[in-house]
A and B are shown apart, each in its own frame.
Chain A
Amino acid sequence: AQSVAQPEDQVNVAEGNPLTVKCTYSVSGNPYLFWYVQYPNRGLQFLLKYITGDNLVKGSYGFEAEFNKSQTSFHLKKPSALVSDSALYFCAVRGSGTYKYIFGTGTRLKVLA
């Protein structure tokens, strides 16, 4: 069965510091991995995805994520956090042979000025 774990409910980081939001997954076959961000009372906004190729994926707003097959992880990173990055972040996985995305429970990122 497919699953996604986001082990941290909340991550606090000072503005200007690097940030990491963790995600691990379990899926049979090749994983297709995604990060989305959700602002209050809004839908999910696509940030980036890993399908195949380079393990470091670059996305919107300066975010990037590193795919690590041996650790089954897909952590979201940004070199320098902004207060405006404060939001709820979701990791999702889709296994081969299925169309549904499985989402984690989300990590609330709080960037402190």
Chain B
Amino acid sequence: DAGVTQSPTHLIKTRGQQVTLRCSPKSGHDTVSWYQQALGQGPQFIFQYYEEEERQRGNFPDRFSGHQFPNYSSELNVNALLLGDSALYLCASSSLAGLHIQETQYFGPGTRLLVL
């Protein structure tokens, strides 16, 4: 049973460029959340997707956008990259299973983005 997978593992971009990160959820999961983890910090919530719609958003600018596909996989897009966007981007998947209080988020290995 494959866990959460993310691609690519590493990425180097320059300021002003755009980037797309990809995530495939754990089998049986229908919800995907994205987090940004800066060096030495805990993960910060970017947004969550369920039924192909953004359900909740954290305190991130509109440069951060996402998408969820019918197969539940998801993309995170970041436009107009800044040096401060350098971080580990984590995808987490979960399943409502009818009772969201039972939800546990399972994380992928992350994509490390370096903006020069």
Contacts and interface: CB of A to CB of B under 8 A. Distances in A.
A104 B42 contact: yes
Contact of B42 (A32, A49, A90): A90
- Interface residues on chain A, size class: 20 to 34
Given A100-B58, A103-B43, A105-B42, A43 B33 contact: no
A84 interface: no
A68 interface: no
A34 B43 contact: no
Contact of A99 (B56, B106, B107, B108): B56
Which of A34, A52, A101 has the largest count of B CB atoms less than 10 A from its CB?
Answer: A101
A49 B31 CA distance: 19
A49 B104 CA distance: 8
Interface size class of B (residues with CB under 8 A): 20 to 34
Contacts of A27: none
Interface string B101-116: 1111111111010000
Interface in A83-111: 90, 92, 96, 98-106
Given A100-B58, A102-B45, A103-B42, A51 B101 contact: yes
B45 A34 contact: no
B55 interface: yes
26 contacts: A4-B42, A34-B104, A42-B109, A42-B110, A43-B6, A43-B109, A44-B90, A44-B107, A46-B104, A46-B106, A51-B102, A52-B101, A99-B31, A99-B48, A100-B48, A100-B56, A100-B58, A101-B33, A101-B35, A101-B45, A103-B35, A103-B42, A104-B42, A105-B41, A106-B41, A106-B42
Given A100-B33, A100-B48, 4 more contacts: A43-B107, A101-B35, A101-B105, A105-B42
Interface of A: 4, 32, 34, 36, 41-46, 49, 51-52, 90, 92, 96, 98-106
Interface of B: 4, 6, 31, 33, 35, 40-45, 48, 55-56, 58, 90, 92, 100-110, 112
